[in-house]
Chains A and B, each alone.
Chain A
Amino acid sequence: MTELPTSTNRKMGLVIDLDTCVGCHACVISCKGWNTENYGAPLSDQDAYGADPSGTFLNRVHSFEVQPAATPSQPDPAAQLIHFPKSCLHCEDAPCVTVCPTGASYKRVEDGIVLVNEDNCIGCGLCAWSCPYGARELDLAEGVMKKCTLCVDRIYNENLPEVDRVPSCVRTCPAGARHFGDLGDPESQVSQLVAERGGMDLMPEMGTKPVNKYLPPRPKDQLDEQIDVLAPLLAPVTQGPGGFLGWLDKALDKLPGHASGQSSGGST
């Protein structure tokens, strides 16, 4: 049924730390790997080894350049590169669910995960149109809509070791930039992380009330005084050798023939 539940028992979701994401795309690859061979239809590629390859991904990493505004203390701040993983935000007020004409899209009451029942999907694409985040992609081979399942086939899977019962992207992230938990429980680790770091919503004006939160990058470029302290240590190190080695160096230079490693200009 494509009506949204009025409330969900839990709000399972991701917290993504933009301060620590290094943009390695490991989450993209592990997501594609897990999800292409588990829940639902595989994530197909088209022209994978040709001139114009493309494919279905449930998680993509963008990179943005942020140029902070100049301030009296920072008249010429350096630009920052922010890597920005983006997948389904499992919105509380998910427009993708209500637009679905067949009831294939739904939001689960027990944990708030937004899923697609692929057997009912007609591939009209309207849910992807309604999503501001580009979280849904129509699989060209299968003709049905694919989206992040929050690895619903991992997180409750008792055949897996407990440490693996988190979404594949979270398990894989080498930087610890992705966190998984119940954002409806203010005592949960993810909720406390969001409170502590000022976690934010993407496009709050869309009224989608995303469950996933993003932790903003911490301010950087505050090293002016420390650079002065380090400056003496950064003095040039290309000075010539002294003592015996210096004498030897000069003596050898006086011998006929070019010194090795110098293509021209050597004295003879």
Chain B
Amino acid sequence: MHPAPSVILFTTLSGLGFGLLTFLGIGYPGVTGWVAFVFYAIAYALAVGGLLASTFHLGRPERALKAFSQWRSSWLSREGLCAVAALLIMGLFAIGAIFLERDWRLLGLLGAGLSLATVFTTSMIYTQLKTIPRWNMALTPVVFLSFSISGGALLAGQESLSIWLLLAAGAVQLAYWAKGDKAFAASGTTIKTATGLGGEGTVRAFEPPHTGSNYLLREFVHVVGRKHAQKLRVIALLLGFGLPIVFLVLPVESSLVKHLMAAFAVLSHMVGAAVSRWLFFAQAEHVVGLYYGKR
């Protein structure tokens, strides 16, 4: 699949933003006043920024509001509704925390649940696609949720907890790659099932329909960059999980250095998560490539 920067930005940033909102909603940290303002500003910048970035890949962004209508069948529609609901509920909760020094527990829990539901519905947009075997796995939502929760814990300053969550997310990432590498073969879809030709013999794409490229090839067949996949996986693991854990466990005395270390951990994790998300798209192979003799 074509790794569109807008979609990579959207899923990475909004995943982190909703992860942070989840922790704020359940009261870790239970902040109020100006401190709360800073936390909520970061969370909303990430979540809303990501959502806005996602509209950049639309052919007709001015009609985006219509995407809220089909929640009964469409995961994309459900994602939109969950995101708006989470942002509204958490907005109310944030007003309580920042301006009124109030902790509306039920509202916070509801907002946390909706934030996680947003990440889950995002992941289901990809998971539901049988045409892309690497995404069509139960592990895909686990990847999205574990990234969001561990990144959220990191941003929320839950140091000891985030070490364990980062370790878990790294393990999920490794399992996802291991299973994903076998997914296309396991799907049973081949050029023979695609064409119905060949019987006991072999089938090979001989001539494409056009000498030039087309929408399908640009969107679904992304071969460039895959050759560096193994190196990028190592980079994603090191930056996304390894370094942040190192930054967190380093024994430091001064609180300034401690904050600096936390900032490094967050930045490193964000870059690692973006690399992982780039691979998520770049390595995903759509079955339509079979018709073109390409993956």
Which chain A residues border B74 with CB–CB below 8 Å? Answer: 2, 98-101
Which chain A residues border B189 with CB–CB below 8 Å? Answer: 132, 203, 205-206
Partner of A99, one of B76, B191, B215, B220: B76
Report how far A130 CA is from B213 CA in the complex, Å. 20
Q: Knowing A18-B197, A125-B219 touch, does A132 contact B59 (C-beta < 8 A)?
A: no
Which chain A residues border B132 with CB–CB below 8 Å? Answer: 129
1/0 contact trace for A104-133 toward B, CB 8 Å?
Answer: 100000000000000011111110111111
1/0 contact trace for B193-231 toward A, CB 8 Å?
Answer: 111111111111111111011111001100000000000
1/0 contact trace for A150-184 toward B, CB 8 Å?
Answer: 00000000000000000000000000000000000
B182 part of interface (Cβ distance < 8 Å): no
Smallest Cβ distance from B194 to chain A, in angstroms? 6
Residues B197 and A54 in contact, CB atoms below 8 Å apart: no
Interface range for B: 35 or more
Interface range for A: 35 or more
A197 part of interface (Cβ distance < 8 Å): no
Residues A28 and B200 in contact, CB atoms below 8 Å apart: no
B77 part of interface (Cβ distance < 8 Å): yes
B251 part of interface (Cβ distance < 8 Å): no
The 8 closest A-B pairs by CB, nearest first: A123-B59, A143-B59, A60-B209, A69-B200, A134-B288, A101-B67, A101-B76, A63-B207
Which chain B residues border A205 with CB–CB below 8 Å? Answer: 187-189, 193
Report how far A214 CA is from B194 CA in the complex, Å. 11
Partner of B131, one of A62, A97, A206: A206
Which chain A residues border B158 with CB–CB below 8 Å? Answer: none
1/0 contact trace for A48-66 toward B, CB 8 Å?
Answer: 0000111111001111111
Q: Add 5 more A-B contacts to A63-B206, A101-B77, A103-B70 (CB < 8 A).
A: A69-B200, A86-B291, A133-B288, A202-B193, A202-B194
Partner of A65, one of B64, B129, B206: B206
Residues A122 and B60 in contact, CB atoms below 8 Å apart: yes
Partner of A202, one of B66, B195, B208: B195
B246 part of interface (Cβ distance < 8 Å): no
Smallest Cβ distance from A17 to chain B, in angstroms? 13
Report how far A39 CA is from B291 CA in the complex, Å. 27
Residues B209 and A144 in contact, CB atoms below 8 Å apart: no
Report how far A37 CA is from B71 CA in the complex, Å. 34
Residues B58 and A123 in contact, CB atoms below 8 Å apart: yes
Interface SS of chain A:
loop
Residues A207 and B130 in contact, CB atoms below 8 Å apart: yes
Residues A54 and B73 in contact, CB atoms below 8 Å apart: no
Residues A64 and B60 in contact, CB atoms below 8 Å apart: no
Smallest Cβ distance from A15 to chain B, in angstroms? 13
Q: Which residue of A lies closest to B197 (CB)?
A: A66
Report how far A140 CA is from B219 CA in the complex, Å. 12
Which chain B residues border A77 with CB–CB below 8 Å? Answer: 201
Q: Knowing A66-B202, A128-B219 touch, does A102 contact B67 (C-beta < 8 A)?
A: yes
A248 part of interface (Cβ distance < 8 Å): no
Residues B63 and A120 in contact, CB atoms below 8 Å apart: yes
Smallest Cβ distance from A31 to chain B, in angstroms? 12
Residues B204 and A65 in contact, CB atoms below 8 Å apart: yes
Which chain A residues border B292 with CB–CB below 8 Å? Answer: 62
Smallest Cβ distance from B202 to chain A, in angstroms? 5
Which chain B residues border A61 with CB–CB below 8 Å? Answer: 209
Report how far A259 CA is from B173 CA in the complex, Å. 81
Residues B204 and A123 in contact, CB atoms below 8 Å apart: no
Partner of B129, one of A66, A120, A130, A138: A130
Which chain B residues border A84 with CB–CB below 8 Å? Answer: 195, 197, 291
Report how far A140 CA is from B214 CA in the complex, Å. 11
Which chain A residues border B203 with CB–CB below 8 Å? Answer: 64-67
Residues B201 and A64 in contact, CB atoms below 8 Å apart: no
Smallest Cβ distance from B192 to chain A, in angstroms? 10
Smallest Cβ distance from A140 to chain B, in angstroms? 7
